[in-house]
Amino acid sequence: MQELEQAIAEIKTALPGMKLMEHEPLSAHCSFRIGGPARAIAVPGDMTSLTKLCAILKRHGLMPLMLGNGTNLLFPDEGLDNVLLLSTEKLQKLYRMPGERIYAEAGVPLTRLAAFAQQNGLKGLEFASGIPGTVGGGLRMNAGAYGGEMKDAVESVVYLYLPEQALYEMPRENCDFGYRGSIFSRYGGFAIVSAVFQLQPGDKNEIAASMRALNDKRREKQPLDLPSAGSAFKRPEGHFAAALIDEAGLKGLRIGGAQVSEKHAGFVVNAGGACAKDVVELLQEVRARVYAKSGIVLEPEIVVLPADYTLRDTSPADTGNRVTVSEEMPSPRGEGVIRRPPQAE
């Protein structure tokens, strides 16, 4: 705590122009609309100020918690008073590069990225047009929908490797993308700052029609009218989480203000006044009942914070609340330090 307070004081002195929100309600920074106050949320205006901020934190032995749109996070009711959150909301550079390539900074919403690709007659990101996250968060978790994933479109990722305070560019094949995960989610120490996407030429009208069709399907099937964090559980191999939950008779199950959606059993929604405790208890109950009926363990897709919090059920294969983040970070497998971002065409 003392180190964090000293770091905040230095940030105010060294970076007086940076937006720094103290004791800010986390409920205003996540799609669940749940969470107590954060000690501080810093909002760098560009990549230079981001690197300066991270250097200050490193001097105090701290690492930031990266924050995009908060669309797959559950913040604790008591808030987070022992960490500085780093928001990427102002990292919004987006432009076309030579060929069928797009450069996007981490804070660019996936909906904006998909729309930009369509406007430039580039296909390959239609699946992302309705995903509410950002480029950084989408790459970290390899976001996907309707048969498409971020790994299918990205060429390379530029990230700040926090232990070295150096920028690297990692090609797609080294990012270890998997189902709802990547090297960036499996290990600490990586702060995604931008990416280059390699797409294919296409007809603007056909791309737009495909995006409309996917978004119509989302509106028809998903509970978009209530706060949630998207799919509550990952898809078990050979099964669908929503079907397993429905078969266990859990659609509509409610604990406090948290409810298994009556429209789509794969979603847990804030039906009104939900707190983090309600959501955690509901996730735990769903896991236990699904396991009791089917013998299948559901692994939450929602990231429950703080990181050391774990969900427990009665299964022998209990996996906790998320993919484990290793304390031992691998060496960066990039291709050298990036002095500046790629240039526009």
- Give catalytic residue positions: 180, 231, 301
Phi-psi label, residue 179: left if phi above 0, alpha if psi -120 to 50, beta otherwise: beta
**Alpha-carbon distance values, 97 to 88, 102, 103, 122, 158 (Å):** 22, 5, 7, 12, 15
Q: Are 25 and 32 in contact (CB under 8 A)?
A: no
Q: Using CA atoms, how far apart are residues 63 and 57, in angstroms rounded to an integer?
A: 6
Length of the chain: 345
Q: Using CA atoms, how far apart are residues 54 and 198, in angstroms rounded to an integer?
A: 29
Q: Cα dihedral sign for 41, 52, 304, 78?
A: negative
Which one-letter DSSP state was computed for residue 86? E
Q: Using CA atoms, how far apart are residues 290 and 296, in angstroms rounded to an integer?
A: 7
Q: Are 119 and 129 in contact (CB under 8 A)?
A: no
From the CB of residue 88, how many other CB atoms can be counted at a distance below 10 Å?
Answer: 25
Question: What secondary structure does DSSP assign to 272-325, as a single string?
Answer: SS--HHHHHHHHHHHHHHHHHHH--PPPB-SEESSTT-----S-TT---SSPPP
| Type of residue numbered 310 | T
What are the backbone angles phi and psi of residue 160, rounded to the nearest 5°? -95, 120
For the chain, the straight-line distance linking the first and the last C-alpha, in angstroms and rounded, comes to 46
Q: Of the candidates 101, 132, 106, which has an alpha carbon nearest to the alpha carbon of residue 116?
A: 101
Q: Using CA atoms, how far apart are residues 157 and 185, in angstroms rounded to an integer?
A: 14
- Copy the structure tokens of residue 285: 């109950």
